[in-house]
Chain A
Amino acid sequence: MKNIITLSVADFKLIFRDPSLRSFLGLPILLFALVIWLLPYLAQTYPGFEPYISVFMVVAAVENTQMFSFISSMVLIDEKENSVAQVYGVVPLSNSEYLLSRLAIPYLFTVCLNVILFIVQPFYHIGLIENISVSMLVGLIVPVYVIGINSIVKNRMQGMVYIKAFNLIVLAPIAAFFIPGKWEWIFGLLPSHWVFQSIQNLTNGEEVWMNLLIGFVFLMIMFLLLSRHFLKKHFN
């Protein structure tokens, strides 16, 4: 516990002292502004807009995950690039403690953002239990993304390229909402599809548990596989 706090404090110092990372902390403010002010305005002004609100909610919730996905990915790429990661390899800190202390705060922070987002959005009545459950699933995108990026890239330059690609992959299943019928299941190969579907269940007042469970299992398996790979190379 002490380790988690010390490391998180250090991580926040790293973020606040790096202008390119610091600016990303503003992303959720922008998203909240869009959802609270712009979307209701659009819905009022253009009557045909209404059916798309739930898609916008999906995008907003997923974009909330992109803040820490980007920031934490960069922090880890940086520490690998200038070999600070090696030092974590020779201190009395187990692999799972390391992962937990680097990812727990970004995860919890993202979950909180989405819980708040689903509370303050003016369009739907969403139960708190469902809200928290779905937000916990959406947040899982962060650790999978961060560990995924860091299993692949070797430096900051590569990082920027792969982050763009990852953003596209995460958002790709949005298309499922516009493609009719059977084809949307293709997107089921991407874990974010199940996250999206459960957010949509939430906004439509439908049963969320099926998509939630599939998404959870999918992301957890991905996380376990990727972290094994990541841990093998991060410290040397």
Chain B
Amino acid sequence: MPEVRLTSNKMIKVEDLQFQYPNSDVKTLKGLSFSIERGEVFGFLGPSGAGKSTAQKVLYKILQGYTGRIEIEGKDLKDWGKDYFSKIGVGFELPNHYLKLTGRENLALFGSFYPNSAIKDIRELFEMVELQDAMDKPVEAYSKGMKMRLNFIRAIQHNPDILFFDEPTSGLDPVNAQKIRNHILDLKANGKTIFVTTHSMHTADELCDRVSFIVDGELRATDSPQTLKDQYGKEEVRVELKSGEIKEFALPSIGENQAFIDFLKSGEVSHIHTLEASLDEVFIQITGQTLHV
């Protein structure tokens, strides 16, 4: 029977990616393999120094000299010319702007390298992250969080298909961090392919369709956050009574579990919670390391 070839839906495909900084004597990336589907939010979750930023820098071609194979839309990364950069948007890990230029001038300067038709309305972008009042102030007068929000809108201003966000919420207060996460979900809803790095399990949990655990330049597990949690947590519910008595019950068909119902009636309930593992706990179980040092 002839093989049916489906057009691949892989936006990014990475095989055995290895990378070593010229001034370092160990490999920072020791053979990463993963792929990202079109329209997917994919994440690297790992502790500081794991190689998350390095991997992204290789993918957006700031670092050269890797080994292994990288394909973007089926085409070798090395064969992409400068049109690759119209296709991608990069949210850098740290703020990087001209301090003497205003936010608007910074955005317009880097926006000028893309075709005019692609560029989003600059005021709307600033309003999106509530920087409209700071638009015409020099960036040296911005706080760290404001600069990070400027990083975010610079990355998306030319409406790219693929987005790299390196710790998109670092340095942000909880309210603004949540807003950025919501914007990332909006981008996904618009069909964008998104690659985020984070050491926050909340970010990974909330944003990522699939997440890879990365430790010491190696990937240890790749799956959806839910699947990972299901594998390592218990499908049980723990009930605690005011009397201090505690019992655990299996979740499947718990409504018909007479012992569970009887226990609920036997006294006043103080806590009920499922024994689902947090991503943090799964991470420790799989990698033997903690996310936070």
Residues of A that sit less than 8 Å from B by CB: 2-3, 6-7, 10, 13-14, 17-18, 79, 82-84, 86-87, 89-94, 232, 235-236
Contact between A89 and B113 (Cβ–Cβ < 8 Å)?
A: no
State which size class the interface on B falls in: 20 to 34
| A76 to B96 Cα, complex, angstroms | 14
Shortest beta-carbon distance from B121 to chain A in Å:
18
Contact between B96 and A3 (Cβ–Cβ < 8 Å)?
A: no
Partner of A86, one of B62, B113, B138: B62
12 A-B residue pairs with Cβ-Cβ distance under 8 Å, sorted by A, are A13-B105, A14-B98, A82-B96, A84-B98, A87-B154, A89-B60, A91-B85, A92-B85, A92-B86, A94-B82, A236-B57, A236-B63
Q: B100 contacts the other chain (Cβ, under 8 Å)?
A: yes
Contact between B96 and A89 (Cβ–Cβ < 8 Å)?
A: no
Shortest beta-carbon distance from A12 to chain B in Å:
11
Partner of A18, one of B61, B62, B82, B100: B100
Partner of A93, one of B82, B84, B97, B105: B82
A-contact bits for B135-157, CB 8 A (1 contact / 0 none): 00010000000000000001000
Q: B99 contacts the other chain (Cβ, under 8 Å)?
A: yes
Contact between A92 and B61 (Cβ–Cβ < 8 Å)?
A: no
Stretch at the interface among B87-95, B178-186, B248-256: B87-95
Residues of B within 8 A of A232 (CB): 64
A-contact bits for B18-47, CB 8 A (1 contact / 0 none): 000000000000000000000000000000
Q: Is the interface of B mostly helix, strand, loop or mixed?
A: loop
Contact between B100 and A3 (Cβ–Cβ < 8 Å)?
A: no
Shortest beta-carbon distance from B125 to chain A in Å:
16
Closest residue on chain A to residue B82 by CB atoms: A92
Residues of B within 8 A of A2 (CB): 112
Shortest beta-carbon distance from B100 to chain A in Å:
4
Residues of A within 8 A of B64 (CB): 232
Residues of B that sit less than 8 Å from A by CB: 57, 60-64, 82-86, 88, 90, 92, 94, 96-101, 105, 109-110, 112-114, 138, 154
Contact between A91 and B114 (Cβ–Cβ < 8 Å)?
A: yes
Closest residue on chain B to residue A84 by CB atoms: B96
Which of the listed residues A83, A87, A236 has the most CB atoms from chain B within 10 Å of its own CB? Answer: A87
Contact between A6 and B98 (Cβ–Cβ < 8 Å)?
A: no
Given contact pairs A13-B100, A84-B96, A92-B83, A7 touches B90 in the complex (Cβ within 8 A): no
Partner of B61, one of A82, A89, A93, A94: A89
| A62 to B109 Cα, complex, angstroms | 32
Shortest beta-carbon distance from B274 to chain A in Å:
43
| A82 to B112 Cα, complex, angstroms | 21
Contact between A10 and B109 (Cβ–Cβ < 8 Å)?
A: yes
| A13 to B163 Cα, complex, angstroms | 30
Contact between A86 and B96 (Cβ–Cβ < 8 Å)?
A: yes
| A79 to B101 Cα, complex, angstroms | 12
Contact between A86 and B85 (Cβ–Cβ < 8 Å)?
A: no
Residues of B within 8 A of A92 (CB): 82-86, 113-114
Contact between A235 and B62 (Cβ–Cβ < 8 Å)?
A: yes
Given contact pairs A92-B82, A236-B62, A17 touches B100 in the complex (Cβ within 8 A): yes
Contact between B85 and A14 (Cβ–Cβ < 8 Å)?
A: no
Contact between A13 and B101 (Cβ–Cβ < 8 Å)?
A: yes
Partner of B96, one of A14, A18, A83, A91: A83
